[in-house]
């Protein structure tokens, strides 16, 4: 399983765009990149997933360069409620769907008023 590296923590003011970068140098051909968000006392919640280039949904964008050795989660105009830990995961997509994935250290985002 590909190992991921991301910053331990980040601070941002409300209303700013936040970009969290994750390194996954050993990503395999079949691996997808997935980001999860976790609030205290809750289980992780899926945010976004991608394989290459750019993916956007209602909450975030995911940028993946051509070599796929890194990815960047972009949160537009963060609010205090975005304060959470963000995990970058890399995992194989096997027939039938889900494959076990390894959680890295995560990035603790603190949004400041």
Residues near another protein (CB under 8 A): 32, 34, 41-46, 49, 87, 89, 91-93, 96-106
Residue 5 DSSP code? B
Q: What one-character DSSP code corresponds to residue 67?
A: T
Find out whether 78 and 32 touch, Cβ atoms under 8 Å.
Answer: no
Closest approach of another protein to the CB of residue 39, in Å: 10
Which is nearer to another protein, 19 or 30 (by Cβ)? Answer: 30
- Shortest CB 16 distance to another protein, Å: 26
Minimal distance, residue 49 CB to another protein, in Å: 6
State the residue for tokens 């796929």: 68
Residue 81, SS3 per DSSP: helix
């Amino acid at each position: 399983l590909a190992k991921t590296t991301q910053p331990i923590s980040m601070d941002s003011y409300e209303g700013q765009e936040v970009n969290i970068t994750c390194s996954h140098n050993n990503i395999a051909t079949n691996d997808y990149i997935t980001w999860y968000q976790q609030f205290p006392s809750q289980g992780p919640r899926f945010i976004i997933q991608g394989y290459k280039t750019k993916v956007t949904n209602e909450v975030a964008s995911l940028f993946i360069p051509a070599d796929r050795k890194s990815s960047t989660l972009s949160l537009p105009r963060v609010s205090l409620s975005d304060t959470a830990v963000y995990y970058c995961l890399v995992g194989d997509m096997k027939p039938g769907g889900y494959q076990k994935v390894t959680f890295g250290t995560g990035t603790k985002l603190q949004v400041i008023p």
